[in-house]
Amino acid sequence: MKTNENRIIAIAGPTAVGKTALSLALAERLSGEIISSDSMQIYQGMDIGTAKPTEEEMARIPHHLINIVLPSSQYSCADYERDARRALEDIRSRGKTPIFCGGTGLYLESVLYEGTLKSPEADEDLRRTLWEKSAEEVYRELEQVDPSAAASMHMNNRKRVIRALEIYLISGKTKTEWDAENQRKTLIPGAELYVLTSSDREALYSRIDRRVDLMMEAGLLDEVRRLSLDPETTAGQAIGYKEFYHYFRGEETLEEAVARLKQASRHYAKRQLTWWERNPAAVKIDMASVTVEEALEGIVEGCYLVT
């Protein structure tokens, strides 16, 4: 069995692939604590739509960086990197194994890689100018200079679109180029990055659709109504919430909104898979070929690692 001393384990991959179950099992086997690397689980009250761990799961294993800010708050990748590093050191100082779990690749990579290049600081004057333009205008500008970045985000996610365009206008280098340079960095000492994939896409998409059905049964619609998120905020653009805005305005049926959510979730899973496919440091585990128990044993024993 691989020694647990100084191990930092990260479980990433698309939605509904089995990250939570594997991370909980790992934490129990390795005396670990879980650090969320999900950019939406940080928000208080956004529970069902972000598939947060249940109260029972969080009582079973200590979790970090869940429910730490209000949905109206601004919270950046830099904020996450700072908070995650603090959590990481806190867990290690108590002799526990840090286990990252989540699907937000940018957040996870900001912590796991050495020498991560910092994109330019915000230019408030430039940002105000960009915010004065329509969502379509800034998105089309981004498409012209950085089509890859534009393709990875929704036009209405103005915060992300404006930030990507701002990076280019300040530095002359696209966000895609910054990300590519960061991909060449190495993992921090002790870090192991496991990406759960699925060669059976149809089975994965079926699990995603079933998850949405279960969310609806659990009260997702009431949660969205109660939160009344501002669509202009990052939280307000979260998958699981923004798909119901047309329904609440009487512009489409509930069935149409649910279908929209299922489609958005499947597309997001595809983008997540694409993100991790280009990462040479990631150890891929095909969950269509192994059980959670088999993946657990492989990670615990270090069988997936090349020494």
What stretch(es) of the chain map to CATH 3.40.50.300? Answer: 8-116+185-301
What stretch(es) of the chain map to CATH 1.10.20.140? Answer: 124-181
- pTM score of the predicted model: 0.80
User: Does 1.10.20.140 match the CATH number of domain 124-181?
Assistant: yes
CA distance 22 to 294: 10
129-159 pLDDT, tens digit per residue, is 988 899 899 999 999 999 988 988 888 888 8
CA distance 241 to 243: 5
Q: Which residues of 11-35 are buried (b: 16+ CB within 10 A; e: fewer)?
A: bbbbbbbbbbbbbbbbbeebebbbb
Task: Give me the tens of pLDDT residue by residue for the chain, a chain 307 residues long.
Answer: 566 678 999 999 999 999 999 999 999 999 999 999 999 999 999 999 999 999 999 999 999 999 999 999 989 888 999 999 999 999 999 999 999 999 999 899 899 987 655 667 777 888 889 888 998 999 999 999 999 889 888 888 888 898 888 888 888 889 888 777 766 668 899 999 999 999 999 999 999 999 999 999 999 999 999 999 999 899 999 999 999 999 999 999 999 999 999 999 999 999 999 888 878 889 999 999 999 999 999 999 988 875 4
Q: Dig out the tokens for 123 from the structure.
A: 């230019």
Inter-residue contact 38 to 102 (CB < 8 Å): yes
In the prediction, which pLDDT does 307 show?
A: 47
CATH superfamily of 8-116+185-301: P-loop containing nucleotide triphosphate hydrolases (3.40.50.300)
Contacts 24+ apart (CB under 8 A), 143-146: 145/174, 146/174, 146/175, 146/176
In the prediction, which pLDDT does 184 show?
A: 61
Q: Dig out the tokens for 190 from the structure.
A: 């002790």
* Beta-bridge partner residues of 99: 9, 34
